[in-house]
Structure 1
Amino acid sequence: MRMDRSGDGEGPVISGFSGRGFVIDGGVYEGLWITPARADGWLPPSIEKLSEAHLAPLLQLDPHPEFLLLGTGARLIRPPQALTATLERRGIGIEAMDSRAAARAWGVLRAELRWIAAALYPLDAVA
């Protein structure tokens, strides 16, 4: 599937889906970290083990992201409460949704030049 985005957000653009992954600049990432500056592959832990340490590169943006989009795979799974509380103490919200919805939200929010980060589980993962 190909996704086209209107607007001119800066940084990497998720242009579609391929198999288990996300298409960015012709490459496919099954697990993905994405910031306004770059996109990197990510091997995520099971969702119940997800911690601040697993997201450290995303949380080191300067300035800190407004919030973190968390794509939890094929369906929405709530992140651990401890992670949510830790991020909130740092002033960073977390928005969890299935990974396809998170990829689409990334495009819309970056077109608005929102300063966000995203961690996306593979599309077929039941995180």
Structure 2
Amino acid sequence: MKLQPDKSNSLTINAYGPGWIEVNGQRFTGSLIVSSMAGAHPQAWEATKFEDLRPLDFEVLAQSGAELALFGSGQRLRFPQPAWLACLIQKGIGLETMDTAAACRTYNILASEGRKVVVALLLET
């Protein structure tokens, strides 16, 4: 039996560390949004500190066309305020919150399954 490795056409998070994330071999050093939608590119996310987040920061997730959104809240788990998520709730998009490292791993799993997922990764300096 011939086996073929799974090959995803979506963006893949290859590696991450304190202050950086690598997507499809390209290193990023700021907060980032990554989507599994066809033709998507990693995009810089203006969010730099959890304490400064606002509803507008989550609007880009609501406009992504994803069925599920992930929020990587930095080095530790912190939950967003409900008011920040109104745009996602109105569109019926679920949001899961976890630390940024867990969000990277979870995104890869969901994207490899062909799910329409978007992840917002907070990298605090």
Shift of residue 24 of structure 1? Answer: 1.4
Structure of greater Rg: 2
CA contact (8 A) 1:72 1:120 kept: yes
Which one is further off, 46-55 or 28-37? 46-55
Task: Name the counterpart of 1:16.
Answer: 15
Residue-pair matches, total: 117
Instruction: Please tell me the root mean square deviation across aligned C-alpha atoms, in Å.
Output: 2.1
In structure 1, runs of 5+ residues without a counterpart are 1-5
Question: SS of the residue aligned with 1:15?
Answer: strand
Q: Which residue of 1 aligns with 2:122?
A: 121
* Matches of 1:76 and 1:116, distance apart in 2: 20
Provide TM-score, normalisation by structure 2. 0.80
Runs of 4+ in 1 over 6 A off after TM superposition: none
1:37-79 CA distance string (max 9 Å, x none): 2212223143344334223333223xx2112100001011000
Listed as ranges, the gaps of 5+ residues in structure 2 are none
**Structure 2 residue 69 is the aligned partner of structure 1 residue 84:** no
Taking structure 1 as the reference length, what is the TM-score of the superposition?
Answer: 0.79
